[in-house]
Amino acid sequence: MKNLKMKAARAAKDYSQEQLADACNVSRQTISAIEKGDYNPTINLCIAICKALDKTLDELFWDEQ
Amino acid sequence: MDKSLWLVIAVLAGLVVFGIFLSWYTDRKQTFDERQLLIRAKAYRIGYISLIVAVIAITFLQTWEKWTSTVDTPFAMLSALMFSLMVFGVYCVTHDAFFHRTDNPKAYLGICIAVMLLNVLAVIRHVKDNGTLFVGGKLTLSPGGNMLFSGMFLVLVITIVIKMILVKREDEE
């Protein structure tokens, strides 16, 4: 399932995938795969993404449904 | 011991040393991210299975007289090894796990093309000197090994180029 919340948060911060990848110390393709829903990140990477985007885990990775 | 067998042992020893160096180097720099490491683990598994399948296939082929009269056993075994390395490389490239964040794919591509061309030159030189690819009617490690290396790097170069085009197109979108 696509992670649109993360994509929106990244866009709101005006970050490119490359910039977010650099901030989280991963490759751009990994960020792309997370946003597309092709890869489930570990909790460590989730936390790094949340810190980079100033969001909580709930805001980015919790599925309400 | 047969000269070509020594060559295989030397190549394998070289690969082991290279593997140890690579392992130390990548550990030191911590370059691949978690998704890439996961994909590379799968690629190792697929490469290993490919090696087993290739070795079994060669073992069966060696019961065929026409095969044994034209293909040297060390060459056949090296081709199985190269095949599995190629499978590993292609799988990693297609799944974005071949280069780490700090790598420059264009520089790597240049190295691959240089290695490929050097091996092609070695094959051409052998054919020019001997008039044939075969040694004593058999395809042996020299120049067969060079053929395998050039073939493997050619496949790798083509895969990297296609991947770079696809990534560029994806970025433009």
Residue A42: give its domain's CATH number.
1.10.260.40
| Contacts (Cβ under 8 Å, ≥6 apart) of B130 | none
| Each residue's pLDDT tens digit, A5-29 | 999 999 999 999 999 999 999 999 9
Half-sphere exposure of B164 (CA within 13 A, CB side): 13
**Taking CB atoms and an 8 Å cut-off, how many pairs form between chains A and B?**
31
Of B35, B42, B168, which to mutate for an interface test with A (greatest number of A Cβ within 10 Å)? B35
B172 to chain A, any CB pair closer than 8 A? The answer is no
Closest C-alpha to A34, from A49, A13, A19? A49
ipTM of the complex: 0.90
| Each residue's pLDDT tens digit, B88-120 | 999 999 999 998 888 888 888 999 999 999 999
Residue of B nearest to A22 (CA): B101
Closest C-alpha to B113, from B161, B79, B81? B161
Number of structural domains found in chain A: 1
Residue A65: inside a domain, yes or no?
Answer: no
B100 to chain A, any CB pair closer than 8 A? The answer is yes
Closest C-alpha to A31, from B69, B50, B136, B33? B33
Q: In this complex, do A26 and B100 lie within 8 Å of one another by their Cβ atoms? A: no
Q: In this complex, do A30 and B100 lie within 8 Å of one another by their Cβ atoms? A: no
Q: What is the mean pLDDT of each run of 10 residues along chain B (173 residues)?
A: 75 85 69 93 97 95 88 91 96 93 86 92 89 84 89 94 90 72
Q: Which domain holds residue A35?
A: 4-57
Q: In this complex, do A39 and B101 lie within 8 Å of one another by their Cβ atoms? A: no
Residues of B in contact with A20 (CB under 8 A): none
